[in-house]
Structure 1
Amino acid sequence: MFRMALVLCITVAPMIAAAEQWTFLATDADGGKPLTDAVILMPRPAEPVAADARMVQENRQFVPHVLVIPPGTEVSFPNRDNTQHHVYSFSPVKTFEIELYAGIPEAPIRFDTTGVVELGCNIHDHMQGFILVTDQQHGITNSSGEVSLDWPDDQPLPDQVRAWHPRLADTSRLMDVAIDSHPGEPVTVSLPVRPAPETDSSLDRLQQRFREL
Structure 2
Amino acid sequence: MPAILLLASCPVFAVALELPITVTLEGTGEPVAGAVVSVDTRNKPTPDTAEIYQKNRAFHPQILVVPVGSSVDFPNRDNTQHHVYSFSPAKTFNIELYAGRPEAPIVFDQPGVVELGCNIHDQMQGFVVVSDTPAVGTTDDAGQVTLSLEPSRSSDSPGRIGLEIWHPRLPDNTRPITVEVTTSEPASVSLSLVPEAPAESSLDLLQQRFREL
CA RMSD of aligned residues (A): 2.4
Report Cα offsets for 1:81-133 as digits up to 9, x if no partner: 11111000011111100011111101001111111110000111111011111
How far apart are the structure 1 equivalents of 2:111 and 2:60? 21
Give the aligned partner of residue 138 of structure 1. 136
1:30 counterpart = 2:32: no
How far apart are the structure 1 equivalents of 2:205 and 2:28? 32
Query: Is the deviation greater in 197-206 or in 162-171?
Result: 197-206
Listed as ranges, the matches of 1:1-213 within 5 Å are: 10-11=9-10, 13-14=11-12, 16-136=13-133, 137-152=135-150, 157-179=159-181, 183=185, 186-213=186-213
Does the residue aligned with 2:40 lie in a helix, a strand or coil? strand
- Which consecutive aligned stretches of 4+ in structure 1 deviate over 6 angstroms post-superposition? 6-9
Write the letter of the residue equivalent to 1:51: D
Gaps of 5+ in 2: none
Deviation at 1:202, TM superposition (A): 3.8
The two structures have a TM-score, normalised by structure 2, of 0.86
In the alignment, is the contact (CA less than 8 A) between 1:57 and 1:81 conserved in 2? yes
| CA pair 190-9 structure 1, distance change in 2 beyond 3 A | same
Deviation at 1:74, TM superposition (A): 0.8
How far apart are the structure 2 equivalents of 1:67 and 1:80? 18
Report Cα offsets for 1:166-197 as digits up to 9, x if no partner: 011111111012335674xx421211111112
In the alignment, is the contact (CA less than 8 A) between 2:171 and 2:194 conserved in 1? yes
Query: Percent identical across equivalent pairs?
Result: 49
Does the residue aligned with 1:43 lie in a helix, a strand or coil? coil
Deviation at 1:23, TM superposition (A): 1.6
How far apart are the structure 2 equivalents of 1:202 and 1:96? 27
In the alignment, is the contact (CA less than 8 A) between 1:56 and 1:80 conserved in 2? yes
Q: How many residues align?
A: 205
Query: Is the deviation greater in 51-60 or in 24-33?
Result: 24-33
Does the residue aligned with 1:211 lie in a helix, a strand or coil? helix
In the alignment, is the contact (CA less than 8 A) between 1:180 and 1:188 conserved in 2? no
How far apart are the structure 1 equivalents of 2:105 and 2:21? 33
Does the residue aligned with 1:44 lie in a helix, a strand or coil? coil
Write the letter of the residue equivalent to 1:95: T
Report Cα offsets for 1:22-78 as digits up to 9, x if no partner: 221111223222112101111324543131111111221111111111111111001
